[in-house]
A and B are shown apart, each in its own frame.
Chain A
Amino acid sequence: MGLESLGHNFFTGQLEDLVKWARRNSVFPATFGLACCAIEMMATGAAHYDLARFGMEVFRASPRQADLMIVAGRVSQKMAPVLRQVYDQMVEPKWVISMGVCASSGGMFNNYAIVQGVDQIVPVDVYVPGCPPQPETLVHGIITLHEQIRTGELTRRRAGGEPLVVQPELQSAHQS
């Protein structure tokens, strides 16, 4: 970015960088706490671990206003079409974090009632393992998602596209 002539109150930058900066610094999660992982998600949003420092403290109840769906908890067979419908109602750009082992792979529930991994229903960007994951683990997953947003394509086509491979460089993250 061109910060040399700040005295004139202008700075320049690439449009893509500015758009990605805006997108990753105000990701609004949708309320999709299903089970025990929801408690850890609430703890992450609470004072000690604090999602507000990422601009994420507002959990939007309406999927139209949400950017990120954190699937926190086990998804039952009956809940699966509801999950898909909420995901479809979200507006692009949207991301999905699969929080906990039950959302990532069915967890300890390898049975008739639980969907074996929410990626059977929606495309997932970041998997956060744990039962439940510590709030720090979820924050790590969120930072990984921010890295994906920072280094990924602006307009992304999921269907038929190649998977995004991201090496989060935490030492150079959060440029501003």
Chain B
Amino acid sequence: MSDTDARENLLEPPGDAGPEVAPVPDVVAAAVIERFPGSQFHSSHGQAVVYAARDELGAIAAFLRDEQQFTMCLDITAVDHLLDGVRHCPEGVEPERFEVVANLVSHARNRRLRVICQVPDADPRVPTVTDTYPGTNHAEREVYDMYGITFEGHPDLTRILMPDDWDGHPLRKDDPPARVPVTFKGDPSPR
């Protein structure tokens, strides 16, 4: 029951382009964009990525699982772009400090999809996907622990890697990386 176009080359131009908007080369991404207008498709090294609004992450996950046969969520993770010199974002996407990334797999259709939401620093909240994919419970706790992004609707959003009373979120770029200031001979600049 796999899609015949599962191995299509996403970088090829589509056959008959519409007058204003070129159709999205990936079938599932096209379905997501049709259901949730405002999302953007992007092809990252041949992989299908959908940039979505962060409030719709839970709804998109439910749509993908129930109607598109994406039965597995591999991982929920985040990226901190604080120290990026140049921020690369497809057009139509408002770049924020954090990105929450969800990797999804459809075994029946032999497809993968990545969903990326931009999360601002001032208000780091994202809806949870644990009601759709219960296995992401720990992954969301890890994102909360390491980045401080809260997942609304998560049943138990507590720290998972650091001790419960830890102060700070270690994988943020402004969290101090080294505990002991170390310099080596000939080191040009201190961290």
Contacts and interface: CB of A to CB of B under 8 A. Distances in A.
Contacts of A77: 162-163, 166
B178 interface: yes
Given A77-B162, A77-B163, A78-B163, A113 B182 contact: no
A114 B163 CA distance: 12
A4 to B, nearest CB: 58
Contact of A110 (B163, B168, B178): B178
Interface in B153-191: 161-163, 166, 168, 170, 175-180, 182
A116 B180 contact: yes
B162 A116 contact: no
A67 B169 CA distance: 38
Given A112-B170, A113-B170, A78 B162 contact: yes
Chain B interface residue number, banded: 10 to 19
A116 B177 CA distance: 13
Contacts of A116: 179-180
A111 B161 contact: no
A112 B163 contact: no
A111 to B, nearest CB: 6
User: Main SS of chain A's interface residues?
Assistant: loop
User: Main SS of chain B's interface residues?
Assistant: loop
Interface residues of A, number: 10
Contacts of B180: 106, 110, 116
Contacts of A112: 162, 168, 170, 175-177, 179
Contact of B179 (A78, A81, A106): A106
Interface in A82-115: 106, 110-114
A46 to B, nearest CB: 34
Contacts of A110: 178-180, 182
A78 B165 CA distance: 10
Contacts of B182: 110
Given A77-B163, A111-B177, A112-B170, 5 more contacts: A77-B166, A78-B161, A112-B168, A112-B177, A113-B170
Interface of B: 161-163, 166, 168, 170, 175-180, 182
26 contacts: A77-B162, A77-B163, A77-B166, A78-B161, A78-B162, A81-B163, A106-B179, A110-B178, A110-B179, A110-B180, A110-B182, A111-B170, A111-B177, A111-B178, A111-B179, A112-B162, A112-B168, A112-B170, A112-B177, A112-B179, A113-B161, A113-B162, A113-B170, A114-B179, A116-B179, A116-B180
